[in-house]
Amino acid sequence: MRPMSNMHADGIGTGRNNSRILDPIFKEVVRNPDVLSNLLKDWIEELKDMEPEQIWQCLDIGDNGRVQSLDTHLFVGKTSFVLDNYFRIRAPGQEEISCFIDMEGQISNSPGYDIHDRMTCYMARMIDEQMSGYERLEYSRLRKCYVIFIMLRPRTNDTNRIKRYAIMRRSPDDPKIGSDDGAFDKVEILEVTVPGYGDVVQEGAMEILKLLFSRLKESEAISDRLTKVYNIHIDKPLSDRMSDLDEQYFEYLEYMGKMKGMA
């Protein structure tokens, strides 16, 4: 049996900017192969019939035991953006690439602009990045791309949801309107909102998100559940940082209110 992977707090920042509050911890958490393999099992079509231990074989795991991200700095014309996590998923035991995944930790699903525009931009750039790596443009080489946005602090009335977006057939004269016949199956966007404290969840990805990010205070019970059910271990430095997320987040809201003359 492989050793239980360990989550630690190296490099976690303390800045007041909202992207400095949750993003570093989010990256640290999802690059743990046990966390990532359990999430992907529920969300990724190509991996749904595999056990988390098998999904490990599909991940690029470095010598430090963490899942390695591709270069997250992507250019768009004269500007650029930085993804949180850009994963390459391989066919089990092979070098062949099965799909690419961008996994983002977003504080709110209402950031002041249409978050779906950002998702669309990321998806388009991932496809462009994939195809630009070939000397010849061979469309058959295109691999599926997933963009997954996890809303870590969603509105109270919008928790515990998964919305999936894909290209579907749409024709008034087609009896299969809205069906997916696989003709455009290379793109999929997931919008996931973390369950709240009182939300009832089933075992799997949504329970993991609830245990990790939903303001639960019983840290020992959380760690015990993550360890026994999902083989996920959180060491104390990261556990302490995660338990302080609410305090940091509300400090940030107060700070922003003062900056805007609202507090």
Contact (Cβ atoms closer than 8 angstroms) between residue 168 and residue 190: no
Report whether pLDDT(248) > 80: no
Average pLDDT, the chain: 81
pLDDT in tens, 133-172: 777 778 888 899 999 999 988 876 889 999 999 987 766 6
Chain segment 167-192, per-residue pLDDT in tens: 877 666 666 655 556 668 899 999 99
Give the angle 178-144-46 at the CA atoms, nearest 5°: 90
Segment 101-121 mean pLDDT: 90
Average pLDDT of the residues in 2-20: 42
Cβ-contact 7, 241 below 8 angstroms: no
Q: pTM above the 0.95 mark? A: no
**pLDDT tens digit sequence for 57-71:** 999 999 999 999 999
Is-contact 115 72, C-beta < 8 A? no
E-strand stretches of the chain? 6-7, 73-76, 79-82, 86-90, 97-106, 144-151, 161-166, 187-193, 233-234
* Most confident among 112-116, 194-198, 250-254 (mean pLDDT): 112-116
Question: Sorting pLDDT into bands at 50, 70 and 90, what band is 228?
Answer: very high
